[in-house]
Amino acid sequence: MWLANLLKDPPPTHVFELSEAGLACADVAAPGRSQFAPLDPGALQVSPVHENIQQPHAILDRLHGLVPPNGQRKRRAALILPDYCARVAVLDFDAFPAQPHEQMALLRFRMKKSVPFDIDSAIVSHSLQARGADGKVEILAAVMAADLVTQYEAPFRAAGFHPGFVTTSSQAALNLIDSDGVSMFVKLSRRVLSVLVLDGRAIKLARCIEMDEGGMEEIDSVLHPTLAYVEDELNTRPERVWLAGFSPEIAAMTDRWREDWGVAVEPLASRFGEPNSMNTGLLGYLESIAG
């Protein structure tokens, strides 16, 4: 699900993924030739509450280096943002209103106490995941502070891009997962761990946690209760755990998960390149639009 489909525009010419490490870029016409420009430490500091873009000129410089200016003609772009700057939740409702303004009011009310920013001015996006015979509805909702969206868009608008499509890295990366059963997607980006529990294409649980160091012990402390949730709520174990952004040293330790949990554990793959902590969402987005 997209965090924000801000405008119903034609497909973008370029897709960009931002992370604290740098800026990844791909021309939609040549998806197999993505590029990456690193950022200096501190230029981008991911948070759901404070300013993320600490050095807008640095983002603009890297952007010009990857995609030179194109005169006065606007180009459309898709932006993939870090997971930790947004909040994603799966919400159950006994009934869900039909009118969009009533839907927004209900979603804002339900998420008001679970987000660390002003929900009334936030950008809220949602999609219907399931509707039961009893009328109960399961909604996937994504929320982000409006001023953060503006911050991320600003360098691209200054470079002559129209960012009409905005999402988060893990949401876009789901296009790389092909699974009919229950599975888990685990993405590590420095000290931020993103975990999505999936039942087919539907997200059943979304967690995004900033850790102290991002070592294996901390990762285990997040994944073990998540696995317990899957067993309790879905009455099964995941058939597969997909990984992205793990260093070779940490990835080698995941053999223990295979033995302890009895599940298949494997890295995420893409036909357009090797997914890592800086480009997983970009590659997933390319998968969604490629023929």
Tens-place pLDDT, residues 213-241:
888 889 999 999 999 999 999 999 999 99
Mean pLDDT score of the chain, rounded to an integer? 91
Summarize the confidence of residues 170-198 as an average pLDDT: 94
Tokens at 205, concatenated = 């649980």
**Residues sharing a CB contact under 8 Å with residue 221, sequence separation 6 or more, in sequence order:** none
Domain coordinates of the chain in residue numbers?
1-87+116-125+141-177+269-291, 88-115+126-140, 179-267
Distances (CA, A) of 202 to 143, 175, 284: 18, 12, 16
Predicted confidence band of residue 13 (pLDDT cuts 50, 70, 90): very high
Give the mean pLDDT of 175-189. 92
Question: What residue type is 140 in one-letter code?
Answer: L
Q: What is the mean pLDDT of residues 58-71?
A: 91
Residue with tokens 């600490």: 54
User: What's the whole-number mean pLDDT along residues 25-48?
Assistant: 95
Token representation of residue 31: 């998806």
The arithmetic mean of pLDDT across residues 165-179, rounded, is 93
Which of these, 210, 204, 207, 277, lies nearest to 238 by C-alpha position?
204
The tens digit of pLDDT for each residue in 95-115 reads: 899 999 999 999 999 999 889
Helix (H, G, I), strand (E, B) or coil at 32: coil
- Whether residue 22 has pLDDT greater than 90: yes
Q: Which residues pair with 168 in a beta bridge?
A: 81
Asked if 277 and 189 count as a contact pair (C-beta separation under 8 A), the reply is: yes
* pLDDT surpassing 60 at residue 71: yes
- Looking at domain 179-267, its CATH superfamily turns out to be ATPase, nucleotide binding domain (3.30.420.40)
- Name residue 244's amino acid: A
How confident is the model at residue 92, as a pLDDT? 93
Q: Is the dihedral of CA 216, 86, 90, 198 positive or negative?
A: negative
| Domain 1-87+116-125+141-177+269-291 shares a fold with domain 179-267 | yes
Task: Work out the pLDDT band at 74, boundaries 50, 70, 90.
Answer: confident
Residue 5's pLDDT is 44
Give the CATH number of domain 1-87+116-125+141-177+269-291. Answer: 3.30.420
Q: How far apart are CA 146 and CA 120, in angstroms?
A: 10
Residue 33 has pLDDT above 80, yes or no: yes
